[in-house]
A = this chain, B = another copy of it.
Amino acid sequence: MSVNKVILVGNVGKDPEIRHLDSGVAVANFPLATSETYTAKNGEKVTTTEWHNIVLWRGLADVAEKYVTKGRQLYIEGRIRTRSYDDKDGNKRYTTEIYGDVMQLLGSAPGNQSSGGGNSSNTSQQASAPSSQVNEPDFSEPEGDEDLPF
């Protein structure tokens, strides 16, 4: 009886870190920035940036490893997950992450532009970037991550 849905369009802050659990399951982590601009009372434009901790599993982690790079514009659909951990002093801390269920690579890679950003040398692979969201005709349910310790 509930819904926990997040929709983000933003820019990747760092190249993803990819880990593999002992089970072999791939996990990708990276920050995604969204920005809001408003006009303050004094007429000045103010931009605030929100950083989201994105976590992707399995197939989406693989797509991230291949195609997601710093600066890339992304659409992410997922859910909010707050987990606790113990910090170095043994105190309980909380961190909130976005578990992505759908990802779309938007626009083109920043290195593709003539404006000279130039931090990417992998231009060619963008051309073959597959959609990360595929609709199967048999409507099989998306696989869960029930057995994962998160």
A interface residues with partner B (beta carbon < 8 Å): 1-11, 13-14, 17, 29, 31, 33-41, 46-47, 49-53, 57-58, 70-71, 73, 75, 77, 79-82, 84-85, 87-88, 92-96, 98, 102, 104-108, 112-115, 119, 127, 131, 133-142, 144-150
Contacts and interface: CB of A to CB of B under 8 A. Distances in A.
A53 B94 CA distance: 13
Q: Which of A73, A142, A145 has the most CB of B within 10 A?
A: A142
Contacts of A150: 17, 29, 53, 95
A72 to B, nearest CB: 10
Copies of this protein chain in the complex: 4
A122 to B, nearest CB: 15
Contacts of A34: 2-4, 134, 137
Given A104-B3, A107-B107, A146 B39 contact: yes
A96 B96 contact: yes
A126 to B, nearest CB: 11
Contacts of A49: 137-138, 140
